[in-house]
């Protein structure tokens, strides 16, 4: 076995992991005062894009399993931001619906993407290239 392969500096996974942590951490000062985590925030992004969506569609969109998404939904439901309803045509299907409070949260976070984006010191063309490369990895 080649020991070079086992060096941290030779691992593609490490800079991806560290960069992801750094970027999600950049959201914390903006989300914490609102009582939100980054994962709750991205769940809201899905719901603001399309309200009345199934849990399975949320899981697919966020690339998370239901064991991760369900506790997030329960916490946001307890805070009054959404409600979960059984689908009339299939009892196994759960539909997530934003409340007025959940829709109002959108205004409170409206400037966060710009604030976090300004923390990333990359020229716009490199950001676009990185975005495309990451989705190539995710969609493989």
Q: Nearest 5°: phi and psi at 111?
A: -95, 0
70-107: pLDDT as tens digits: 999 999 999 999 999 998 888 789 999 999 999 999 99
Residue 26 · residue 119 · CB < 8 Å: yes
E strands, the chain, where? 53-54, 82-86, 94-98
Cα radius of gyration rounded to whole Å, the chain: 18
Tell me if the pTM is above 0.95.
no
123-138: pLDDT as tens digits: 989 999 999 999 999 9
Cα 21 from Cα 66, distance rounded (Å): 22
From 76, 86, 84, 80, select the one nearest 44 (Cα to Cα). 76
């Amino acid at each position: 076995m080649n020991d070079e392969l086992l060096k941290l500096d030779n691992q593609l996974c490490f800079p991806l992991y560290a960069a992801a942590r750094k970027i999600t951490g950049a959201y914390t000062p903006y989300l914490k005062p609102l009582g939100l985590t980054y994962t709750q925030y991205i769940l809201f992004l899905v719901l603001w894009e399309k309200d009345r969506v199934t849990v399975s569609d949320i899981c697919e969109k966020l690339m998370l399993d239901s064991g991760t998404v369900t506790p997030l939904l329960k916490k946001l439901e307890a805070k009054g931001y959404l409600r979960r309803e059984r689908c009339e045509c299939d009892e196994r299907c759960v539909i997530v619906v934003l409340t007025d409070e959940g829709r109002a949260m959108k205004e409170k976070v409206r400037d966060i993407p710009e604030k976090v984006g300004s923390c990333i010191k990359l020229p716009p063309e490199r950001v676009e290239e990185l975005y495309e490369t990451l989705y190539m990895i995710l969609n493989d």
